[in-house]
Amino acid sequence: MRVQTTTICALGASVALLAFLSIRDYNPVNSRLGSGSTAALQRTNRITSTPHTSRFGSRSRCIQAKAGKKHDMSSPDGLSRRGFFANGAGAAGLAGAMYFADAKNAQAEKISKWERLQLPVSDTSVMFDLDFVDDKTGFLVGSQGTFLKTTDGGLSFSDANIDVTSDEDINYRWEAISFKGNEGWAVGKPSIMIHTLDGGKSWERIPFSSQLPGDFLGITALENNAAEVITSAGAIYKTVNGGKNWKAQVVETIDATLNRVSSSGVSGASYYSGSINSVVRDTKGQYIGVNARGNFYLTFKPGDNAWMPHNRKTIRRIVTMGVVGDDLTEGMWMTTRAGGVSFAKGKSDLDTQEIDFVDTTINSGGYGILDVTKLSNGDMWCVGGGGKIFLSRNGGKSWIADNSGDNEPGNLYKVKFFGDDGFILGSGGILLRFQG
């Protein structure tokens, strides 16, 4: 603090001296005290530091100092030397001090406004998915039977009180929920699927075979009683009649596929653990999933008989993968152990075993990144372990840390935006809402 005070005083004296020596010609309106900040010293008895809107919307303080008495008019600007130094140097020093204080505050200030919502769940619950029926009504699901409802656009949540599981002594782990208009679907484990046609006012349970390969991982509501569900074994089923019948979309199991291609150069295929995770579906019905060990990943396109395995081309194991935008072939992201984030280079051919990825710079402190999303304005957000949140304004080339989650006692698993409304879901009963 001593060094900082000395610097501030020196700055104030320097500004004052410069202004005094060239006061007739000096135009300080365009002078810069630092990158991105300006200070206007007007030739009146009021000294004003202009409000500054930073890149992230924070505003510096406006300082006004009024003269308390009439000054000697012998000097060209109407101030005596003593008056000038008393007012100019003092005010300049004050402006400098306020500038440094504001600069320090700006560095510590959050670059966004994520606010934690209080949920009626235990602090050991994990939030897994969230979707909305309309602008006001939505549902949040997670572990320990968490099934919550909002009617105010996500400002608050309460128990949805679904009656399809009320007579069971099972705390279902709800993995995913998806709506298309008033029609919605939710899946969980032990294997359970429910369906609504009235925006979640009532739900019906959809029976499924006990021979279902794997556990439900995700479901996508389509249109007119249609939906598509995927399991941890890579099985994909589609219904067009409200769940009465389901048609398999994948002919060959992942096990059979890997046995067929393991000798063709897919690293880690012979150590396949029998399940996939981090499964994401794009708007074209294409899927990407990471095997449980993280040593390779797979993609699937509608019309194909089997999944296509891909080498990861990195020494670090994969944590999660997803789509940038709406189409996997146009953009994919990958996160790896110890906080690595990379993006597919150019357009991707999902029929090739190796796809090139380009690493980006992110300082996560070794915490893994668990989800990435891109907004319509081009901004990108990613979240991960230890409450880490990052923002990129240049397409993922570089990332800025957001400290909104630094004090949250859990990991952040998913970030989702619905228009301008953003939500981050995590462990420890965490749900953060984007405030601007």
- If DSSP states are collapsed to H, E and C, what string results for 53-117? ECCCCCECCCCEEECCCCCCCCCCCCCCHHHHHHHHHHHHHHHHHHHHHHHHHHHHCCCCCEEEC
For the cut 90, the answer to whether the pLDDT of residue 274 exceeds it is no
pLDDT at residue number 147: 97
For the cut 60, the answer to whether the pLDDT of residue 13 exceeds it is no
Instruction: Kindly state the tokens that stand for 138.
Output: 């939505």
> If you ran DSSP here, which 8-state letter would residue 207 be given?
P
Alpha carbons 73 and 87: distance in angstroms, whole number? 14
- The residue type found at 215 is D
pLDDT at residue number 319: 94
- For residue 422, the surrounding DSSP H or E stretch is strand 421-426
Mean pLDDT check: name the lowest of 10-19, 189-198, 387-396. Answer: 10-19
Rg, the chain, Cα only: 29
Which of these, 266, 282, 268, lies nearest to 322 by C-alpha position? 282
pLDDT at residue number 273: 57
Instruction: Kindly state the tokens that stand for 399.
Output: 């990332």
Alpha carbons 95 and 11: distance in angstroms, whole number? 10
Per-residue confidence at 255, pLDDT binned at 50, 70, 90? confident
Q: Average the pLDDT over 386-411 and give the result.
A: 93
Q: Which residue would you say has higher pLDDT here, 270 or 376?
A: 376
pLDDT at residue number 253: 79
- The residue type found at 151 is T
pLDDT at residue number 312: 86
The Cα diameter of the chain in Å comes to 98
pLDDT at residue number 264: 56
Instruction: Kindly state the tokens that stand for 211.
Output: 């021979």
- For residue 216, the surrounding DSSP H or E stretch is strand 216-221
pLDDT at residue number 433: 97
pLDDT at residue number 14: 42
pLDDT at residue number 249: 96
For the cut 50, the answer to whether the pLDDT of residue 53 exceeds it is no
Among 3-12, 98-107, 151-160, the range with the most confident prediction by mean pLDDT is: 151-160
Is residue 306 within 8 Å of 252, Cβ to Cβ? yes
For the cut 50, the answer to whether the pLDDT of residue 109 exceeds it is no
Among 78-87, 143-152, 163-172, the range with the most confident prediction by mean pLDDT is: 143-152
Is residue 186 within 8 Å of 138, Cβ to Cβ? no
Beta strand segments in 292-368, E: 296-300, 308-311, 318-323, 332-336, 340-344, 357-359
For the cut 50, the answer to whether the pLDDT of residue 347 exceeds it is yes
For the cut 70, the answer to whether the pLDDT of residue 272 exceeds it is no
For the cut 80, the answer to whether the pLDDT of residue 115 exceeds it is yes
Per-residue confidence at 243, pLDDT binned at 50, 70, 90? very high
pLDDT at residue number 266: 67
For the cut 60, the answer to whether the pLDDT of residue 72 exceeds it is no
pLDDT at residue number 260: 73
Instruction: Kindly state the tokens that stand for 156.
Output: 């608050």
Is residue 412 within 8 Å of 388, Cβ to Cβ? yes
Q: Average the pLDDT over 119-144 and give the result.
A: 97
Q: Average the pLDDT over 361-374 and give the result.
A: 93
* Mean of all residue pLDDT scores within the chain: 78
Alpha carbons 317 and 314: distance in angstroms, whole number? 7
Is residue 399 within 8 Å of 390, Cβ to Cβ? yes
Which of these, 371, 323, 416, 412, lies nearest to 127 by C-alpha position? 412
Q: Average the pLDDT over 25-37 and give the result.
A: 32
pLDDT at residue number 148: 98
Q: Average the pLDDT over 333-346 and give the result.
A: 94
Stated length of the chain: 436
- Torsion, Cα 188 226 371 411, to 10 degrees, reads -20
pLDDT at residue number 70: 38
pLDDT at residue number 167: 67
pLDDT at residue number 259: 76
Q: Which residue would you say has higher pLDDT here, 116 or 96?
A: 116
Is residue 399 within 8 Å of 375, Cβ to Cβ? no
Alpha carbons 303 and 312: distance in angstroms, whole number? 24
pLDDT at residue number 275: 80
Per-residue confidence at 99, pLDDT binned at 50, 70, 90? very low
